[in-house]
Amino acid sequence: MKKITVLLCLSLALQSGLSAQSLNVATDTVSVQSFNFKQLIIPAILIGYGVIGLESDELKSWNLQLRQEVSEHIDEKVTLDDLTQWAPAGTVFALDAFGIRGKNSFRDQSTILLTSYVIMTASVLSLKSITRVERPDGTSKNSFPSGHTATAFAGAEFLWQEYRHKSIWYGIAGYAVATGTGIFRVYNNRHWITDVVAGAGIGILSTKIAYWVNPYIKRKLFGKTERKATSFLAPSYDGRTIGLSFIKTF
């Protein structure tokens, strides 16, 4: 963007020296996310656990033991997970509607969430078609990974990113709901625990990637990213009059 400098001289009679004052004015734009490989550790561990579980006899045995426990003690299914998978992401837009603003604008939030869902859905469907793991209830061979859990954790990470500057409890609540969604998938005999753990990792990673690539997507879809505007006041003197200069660049 072409740099424009606006100079406004205000003539003021001053009896003492003036000190410069600086003001920074940020434009309404998406926050730039730096790529930090440390953020990959948790989702990588979760996904890795699930992938190892595909071949590990020990983890497969634990899956079977857990399914047996569920079958013996659970009489009827609870379909709450069909709703809770959407709750964390929906909370972001609900909070915005009630005037509790997140880190980014509605447009940026929508772009980020859509990007996350595209990455997450492509990953989940690809792995389901490749691995063809039978569900605990035997209804189909598309158990790995859990799509419900991936959706819930993608939303939980989205909620955390948008509102952690307000309070960490927003993120904690979102992750609690996402964890509950994963538990219900096992409870309802629809997934193995390894499916759920891998789904959680995929969901978290998808949203992190969405934030990292959003500045690029924004430039492609909406033009150049808005820059930071800077304003400051500085004293001026033309040999006869003492004054203040207001300078703004954007």
Residues 125-171 pLDDT 10s: 999 999 999 999 999 999 999 999 999 999 999 999 999 999 999 99
Share of residues in the chain with pLDDT > 90 (%):
67
pLDDT higher than threshold 90 for residue 250:
no
Whether 243 contacts 10, CB under 8 Å? yes
The per-residue pLDDT for 222 is 84
CATH 2.40.128 fits 37-222, yes or no: no
Look at phi and psi of residue 138 and say left if phi exceeds 0, alpha if psi is from -120 to 50, else beta: left
The arithmetic mean of pLDDT across residues 89-104, rounded, is 97
pLDDT higher than threshold 60 for residue 11:
no
Q: Give the N- to C-terminal CA distance of the chain in Å, as an integer.
A: 8
Instruction: Report which of 148, 143, 175 is spatially closest to residue 78, judged by C-alpha positions.
Output: 148
Q: Which of 39-43, 54-58, 221-225, 244-248 has the lowest mean pLDDT?
A: 244-248
The per-residue pLDDT for 243 is 59
Cα 101 from chain centroid? Answer: 15
DSSP-assigned states of every residue in 179-203: HHHHHHHHHTTS--HHHHHHHHHHH
The per-residue pLDDT for 72 is 80
Break the chain into its structural domains and give their ranges.
5-27+227-249, 37-222
